[in-house]
Amino acid sequence: MTGYQGGFSWKTLLGITNAKRQFARQTGIPTTKSGVERKVGRMVLDFLLGTKKRR
């Protein structure tokens, strides 16, 4: 069977996934490991290179 390969997720059923996504969007704080690493890495590079915020 090709196409959908996902499984059952309690987190999705209980709304935890959506709550985490909304929290991250409202606060600007990532809730995933890769998101935190990307944000911290960008902050360190901006500090070292003396670049301004993009916004």
Task: Encode pLDDT of 1-54 as tens digits.
Answer: 566 777 888 888 898 989 999 999 999 989 899 999 999 999 999 999 887 665
Whether this model's pTM surpasses 0.75: no
Predicted confidence at residue 26, as pLDDT, reads 95
**Measuring CA to CA, how many Å separate 42 from each of 14, 22, 48?**
33, 22, 10
